[in-house]
Copies of this chain bind each other. A is one copy, B any other.
Amino acid sequence: MTLRDDLQAMAEKSWQASREMAVIAGSVKNDALLGMADALLAHKDEILAANARDLEAAEGTDLPYALRKRLELNEEKVAAMARACREVAALPDPVGEVFDMVLRPNGLRVGKMRVPIGVVLTIYESRPNVTCEAAVIALSAGNCIILRGGKEALHSNLAIARVLADAGRSAGLPEGALQILDTTDRDAVGILLGMSEYIDLVVPRGGEGLIRAVVEQATMPVMKHFAGVCHTYVDAAADLTMAETVCYNAKVQYPAVCNAMETMLVHADVAEAFLPAMCRRFVEAGVELRGCERTRALCPGASAATEEDWGTEYNDLILSVKVVGGFEEALDHIARYGTRHSEAIITDDYRTAQRFLACVDAAAVYVNASTRFTDGGQFGLGAEMGISTDKFHARGPCGLRELTTYKWIIYGDGQIRT
């Protein structure tokens, strides 16, 4: 058997299983998720032992400290995975909903039925928790999943996936509903990305390099998250106290994530009243400021922002600041440098607020709130597979429903086309 034969057999098995998964009862899926939660706890020693092998292999390599911390599992992290299984089990099942049903003049009843997408391939980097998170969300929405984790976490991922797959099978999920690649052969990904006859969707999770490579090779749709260069625009009609609170939160509360603010835009009319105190507060919090000339005149601590800064996702305590001549300039800046993730305006002007909502093209557009809310839990989805910066199919946080599609269903009584 060549690698291609192995992968072909795996993908075909997944596709076969997807036919069963599409019509499985919601109660079976829920039993499977609850069984997975129990199994993770029951097999935690096995999982931690596998993780220890990965950590040992990472010793003496150049794996950065932050990545090593992400690779490391402990009892609490295993318990968190088990909790996530139970939380997803408690969410409403999106599959089977019938909607938009109309009665046509010829008597046909035409509508749509929500159905799973089918087979989802997830390719991710070093955090082994993703093995569990991605699997339970995909399965809960009725999909089959093929997992491909990073090579640093291979033993951890295999152990977690085996525990989940065994528990799923015991609860009645079809053989092949959850599979994981046990090879680290780099060719495997390219081969799978060519199998659009079996795999309906690929979800890459990781750095930009991984995502670009997947987009270039994939012959099936890709649900992805590129960069999050998020702006907050403090309008001339902003409540400046609110602006300070919201901007501080958007930058400082958790700077390492994609929905943190990377650039603050300030209307020239309020720059003098707003910037000096705001900047002092940022500096006190350890934020490095990079500003335009007008910003630097008001905030002496700021260094000069370069063209590159405006397009950079720092994911760190660094902030670009620009004073803009007006609303249109703010819109132009966001259109040029934004990554269609999350954009906010602070204003008390009704028309400006409505225009910002209408004009800004992003997954999430805010009035008077922190961009940090772009998250499946915060938006009420319960769980998320990731945050899409694409425009097709689903934008922003993607939960169970975003991992489904629909088919048209038609009830007739003998209608023919004339």
A414 touches B245 (CB 8 A): yes
Bound: A216/B220 CA distance, A: 10
- Interface flags, A1-28, vs B, CB<8A=1, else 0: 0000000000000000001001100000
B200 touches A380 (CB 8 A): no
B117 touches A417 (CB 8 A): no
Copies of this chain, whole number: 2
Other-chain contact of A369, B367, B370, B412, B418 (Cβ < 8 Å): B412
Task: Please give, as numbers and ranges, the residues of chain B lying within 8 Å of A417 by CB-CB distance.
Answer: 249, 253-254, 370, 372-373, 378
If A361-B407, A365-B410 are given as contacts, then 20 extra A-B residue pairs at C-beta distance below 8 Å, sorted by A number, are A19-B361, A22-B359, A23-B355, A108-B369, A110-B373, A110-B379, A117-B392, A118-B391, A221-B392, A248-B416, A250-B416, A253-B416, A253-B418, A357-B409, A363-B408, A369-B410, A370-B417, A374-B408, A393-B405, A395-B408
Task: Please give, as numbers and ranges, the residues of chain B lying within 8 Å of A201 by CB-CB distance.
Answer: 391-392
- Interface flags, A179-216, vs B, CB<8A=1, else 0: 00000000000000000100011000000000000011
The answer to whether the Cβ of A396 comes within 8 Å of any Cβ in the partner chain is yes
Task: Please give, as numbers and ranges, the residues of chain B lying within 8 Å of A196 by CB-CB distance.
Answer: 215
Bound: A203/B273 CA distance, A: 50
B411 touches A367 (CB 8 A): yes
Name which residue of chain B comes closest to A348, CB basis.
B413
A406 touches B395 (CB 8 A): yes
Task: Please give, as numbers and ranges, the residues of chain B lying within 8 Å of A407 by CB-CB distance.
Answer: 361-365, 395-396
A193 to chain B, nearest CB (A): 11
Q: 6 interchain pairs (CB within 8 A)?
A: A108-B369, A118-B361, A246-B416, A361-B407, A365-B408, A392-B405
A410 touches B373 (CB 8 A): yes
A48 to chain B, nearest CB (A): 32
Residues 236-273 (chain A) with a chain B CB within 8 angstroms: 239, 242, 245-246, 248-250, 253-254
The answer to whether the Cβ of A121 comes within 8 Å of any Cβ in the partner chain is no
Task: Please give, as numbers and ranges, the residues of chain B lying within 8 Å of A362 by CB-CB distance.
Answer: 407
The answer to whether the Cβ of A288 comes within 8 Å of any Cβ in the partner chain is no
The answer to whether the Cβ of A102 comes within 8 Å of any Cβ in the partner chain is yes
- What interface size band does chain A fall in? 35 or more
Bound: A219/B22 CA distance, A: 29
A233 to chain B, nearest CB (A): 14
The answer to whether the Cβ of A61 comes within 8 Å of any Cβ in the partner chain is no
Contacts A249-B416, A370-B416 given; does A392 touch B393 at CB 8 Å: yes
Bound: A142/B418 CA distance, A: 33
The answer to whether the Cβ of A113 comes within 8 Å of any Cβ in the partner chain is yes
The answer to whether the Cβ of A42 comes within 8 Å of any Cβ in the partner chain is no
Other-chain contact of A19, B102, B359, B392, B416 (Cβ < 8 Å): B359
- The residue among A115, A215, A417 with the most chain B CB atoms within 10 A of its own CB is A417
The answer to whether the Cβ of A390 comes within 8 Å of any Cβ in the partner chain is yes
A200 touches B253 (CB 8 A): no
- Interface flags, A106-125, vs B, CB<8A=1, else 0: 00101001010110000000
A136 to chain B, nearest CB (A): 21
Bound: A368/B106 CA distance, A: 13
B370 touches A415 (CB 8 A): yes
Task: Please give, as numbers and ranges, the residues of chain B lying within 8 Å of A372 by CB-CB distance.
Answer: 416-417
Bound: A415/B418 CA distance, A: 58
Task: Please give, as numbers and ranges, the residues of chain B lying within 8 Å of A409 by CB-CB distance.
Answer: 357, 364-366
The answer to whether the Cβ of A335 comes within 8 Å of any Cβ in the partner chain is yes
The answer to whether the Cβ of A351 comes within 8 Å of any Cβ in the partner chain is no
The answer to whether the Cβ of A63 comes within 8 Å of any Cβ in the partner chain is no
The answer to whether the Cβ of A358 comes within 8 Å of any Cβ in the partner chain is yes
Other-chain contact of A412, B113, B117, B363, B366 (Cβ < 8 Å): B366
A23 touches B200 (CB 8 A): no
B414 touches A369 (CB 8 A): yes
- The residue among A367, A379, A413 with the most chain B CB atoms within 10 A of its own CB is A379
